[in-house]
């Protein structure tokens, strides 16, 4: 397995291009099941999650090819409606296969998704929505058996105790576009990945109103046709570079990201005293050299609030920001696996319920650390870049799920980072 070795202390400077968004691709790939015609998807990042989603679509009978870098073609001509446990359990986002199978096949058998290190990942809101439009759902042997022969459009409230649900909204959208009648989704998620999915569905012939709002109206149609769709850029990848520039005191141009995708982060950076300008429609210029960040408080919320997927990265920055900061996680209250690893690097953080109380230090020291999930891994990379000395990060397969060539991109910005085989780790460091 690979590991990352980082020699801290370099300042990040230069220009970095943002890749396509993993979290836009997964529902977009699922939506290809809604038509028997070919669908071309462009700007797809080269990630293990994407390759895995392709495998799941193939297991359903779709023809899936990656005929050029970033470009995939899916033709779901003759498909089955059973998604097997051995595949679904490996990636919970595959739950968003339910919607298109309900729409196209009027039913499905999908394994219940497994757990996740960032906390419980229930799908009660997905199932509540499907039942509301008339699906009969039974759970047997770990599979959800859905019969949607009598489904028809109606009013669905999708909000839960943590606010809206992103993949829940995607799932109901993909069911409703081919369900007779009119469906209204209230308290729908409006993360940028949802309008992106709506745009693709409309190109396929779907009838959707309220795109970008918390209230979506869908008029079911009989069938959908193929299209070509270019997925949006990855706002979480972009935000990771913004935070990296601030942490290392460098000036970084982040290309290919509209500033309105990161309004909450930009606001926090400016409160911290780090200027983030947008010289044009899809570029951010972070002037980390202007000053060290000041401590700030962060609360994660559904979009347009501060994204939970940048919470770990923000903790890394605030661990190196002298003064008291409080980071409160409202979406996944247990999402603090990065904290014990940051503490190994000298971070002074105490967890109090859903909050991390951070007493920022002047320095962190490099150390061997363990990645635990996608965004926690990114936080450890950032901490390693800004720490004194050498950091080794194991289990970086977590990182490869959601960041395309992150080590290469940081190296292009001047970081001293390399990907090595685990056998190169100093004796005694390798996890047993
Ligand atoms: C999406 O997950 C993203 N994943 C997550 O990114 C992201 O953290 C999350 O949205 C929140 O923005 C993908 O898009 C593939 P939710 P999703 O349904 O859709 C609760 C990453 O690192 N909830 O919006 O699964 C849920 O427990 C990943 O890229 C219910 O209670 O998240 C959570 O507390 C991690 N019942 C909150 O709502 C449900 O039926 C938001 O979940 C569904 C969700």
Ligand 1 nearest atom to the CA of residue 125, by list position: 40
CA nearest neighbour of 378 among 393, 357, 361, 389: 393
Q: What is the pLDDT of residues 235-254, one digit of tens each?
A: 999 999 999 999 999 999 99
- How far does residue 165's CA lie from ligand 1's centre (Å)? 6
Give the pLDDT of residue 119: 73
Q: Is the CB of 332 under 6 A from ligand 1?
A: yes
Give the pLDDT of residue 240: 98
Structural domain containing residue 205: 22-230
- How far does residue 167's CA lie from ligand 1's centre (Å)? 7
Give the pLDDT of residue 92: 81
From the first residue on, what is the mean pLDDT of each consecutive set of 10 residues in the chain (432 residues)?
95 98 97 98 96 95 97 97 86 90 97 75 93 96 94 97 95 98 98 98 98 98 98 98 98 97 97 96 96 96 97 98 97 95 98 97 96 94 98 94 94 97 85 66
Tell whether 101 and 222 lie within a shared domain: yes
Give the pLDDT of residue 397: 92
- Which protein residue's CA is at the shortest distance from atom 21 of ligand 1? 309
Tell whether 8 and 92 lie within a shared domain: no
Domain final residue, candidates 200, 230, 260: 230
Tell whether 382 and 406 lie within a shared domain: yes
Q: Is the CB of 93 under 6 A from ligand 1?
A: yes
- How far does residue 95's CA lie from ligand 1's centre (Å)? 11
Tell whether 257 and 189 lie within a shared domain: no
Beta partners for 65? 73
Ligand 1 nearest atom to the CA of residue 331, by list position: 34
Tell whether 222 and 137 lie within a shared domain: yes
Q: Is the CB of 309 under 6 A from ligand 1?
A: yes
What is the rounded CA–CA span in Å between residue 252 and residue 407? Answer: 16
Active site residue 73: no
Nearest-5° Cα angle at 266, 260 to 271: 145
CA nearest neighbour of 30 among 110, 94, 75, 118: 94
Tell whether 144 and 274 lie within a shared domain: no
Q: Is 222 helix (H, G, I), strand (E, B) or coil?
A: coil
What is the rounded CA–CA span in Å between residue 260 and residue 426? Answer: 44
Give the pLDDT of residue 276: 97
Q: Is the CB of 162 under 6 A from ligand 1?
A: yes
Domain final residue, candidates 230, 260, 278: 230
How many domains are contained in the chain?
2
Asked if 36 contacts 62 with a C-beta cutoff of 8 angstroms, the reply is: no
Residue 429 domain-assigned (yes or no): no
Tell whether 153 and 8 lie within a shared domain: no
Sheet (strand 82-83) strand order: 82-83, 107-111, 143-147, 136-140
Burial 131-144 (b: 16+ CB within 10 A, else e): ebbbbebeeeeebb
Q: Is the CB of 374 under 6 A from ligand 1?
A: yes
> Tokens 């996890």 appear where?
431
Ligand 1 nearest atom to the CA of residue 303, by list position: 12
Half-sphere exposure of residue 396: CA atoms within 13 angstroms, side-chain side: 26
Give the DSSP per-residue string, 243-274.
Answer: HHHHHHT-EEEEES--GGGGHHHHHHHHHTT-
Tell whether 163 and 242 lie within a shared domain: no
CATH number of the domain bearing residue 345: 3.65.10.10
Give the pLDDT of residue 51: 94
Tell whether 110 and 207 lie within a shared domain: yes
């Amino acid at each position: 397995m690979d590991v990352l070795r980082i020699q801290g202390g370099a300042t990040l400077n230069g220009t970095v291009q943002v890749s396509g968004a993993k979290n836009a691709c997964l529902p977009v790939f699922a939506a290809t099941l809604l038509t028997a015609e070919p669908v071309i998807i462009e700007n797809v990042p080269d990630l293990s999650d994407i390759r895995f989603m392709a495998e799941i679509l193939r297991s359903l009978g779709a023809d899936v090819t990656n005929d050029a870098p970033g470009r995939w073609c899916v033709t779901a001509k003759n498909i089955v409606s059973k998604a097997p446990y051995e595949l679904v359990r490996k990636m919970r986002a595959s739950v968003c296969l339910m919607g298109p199978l309900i729409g196209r096949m009027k039913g499905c058998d999908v394994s219940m998704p497994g757990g996740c290190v960032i906390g419980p990942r229930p799908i009660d809101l997905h199932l509540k929505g499907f039942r509301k439009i008339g699906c009969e759902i039974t759970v047997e042997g770990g599979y959800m058996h859905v019969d949607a022969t009598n489904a028809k459009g109606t009013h669905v409230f999708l909000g839960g105790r943590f606010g809206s649900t992103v993949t829940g909204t995607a799932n109901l959208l993909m069911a409703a576009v081919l369900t007779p009648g009119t469906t209204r989704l209230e308290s729908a998620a409006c993360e940028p990945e949802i309008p992106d999915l709506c745009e693709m569905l409309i190109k396929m012939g779907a009838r959707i109103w309220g795109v970008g709002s918390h209230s979506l109206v869908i008029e079911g149609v009989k069938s959908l046709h193929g299209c070509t769709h270019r997925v949006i850029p990855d706002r979480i990848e972009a935000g990771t570079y913004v935070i990296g520039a601030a942490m290392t005191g460098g000036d970084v141009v982040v290309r290919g990201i509209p500033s309105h995708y990161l309004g909450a982060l930009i606001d926090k950076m400016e409160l911290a005293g780090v200027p983030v300008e947008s010289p044009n429609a899809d570029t951010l210029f972070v002037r980390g050299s202007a000053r060290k960040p000041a401590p700030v408080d962060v609360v994660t919320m559904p979009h347009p609030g501060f994204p939970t997927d940048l919470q770990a990265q923000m903790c890394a920055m605030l661990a190196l920001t002298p003064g008291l900061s409080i980071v409160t996680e409202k979406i996944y209250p247990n999402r603090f696996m990065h904290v014990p690893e940051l503490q190994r690097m000298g971070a002074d953080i105490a967890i109090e319920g859903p909050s991390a109380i951070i007493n920022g230090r002047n320095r962190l020291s490099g150390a061997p650390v363990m990645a635990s999930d996608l965004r926690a891994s990114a936080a450890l990379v950032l901490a390693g870049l800004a720490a004194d000395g050498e950091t080794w990060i194991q289990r970086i397969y977590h990182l490869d799920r959601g960041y395309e060539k992150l080590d290469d991109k940081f190296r292009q910005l001047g970081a001293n980072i390399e990907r090595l085989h685990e056998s190169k780790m100093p004796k005694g460091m390798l996890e047993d």
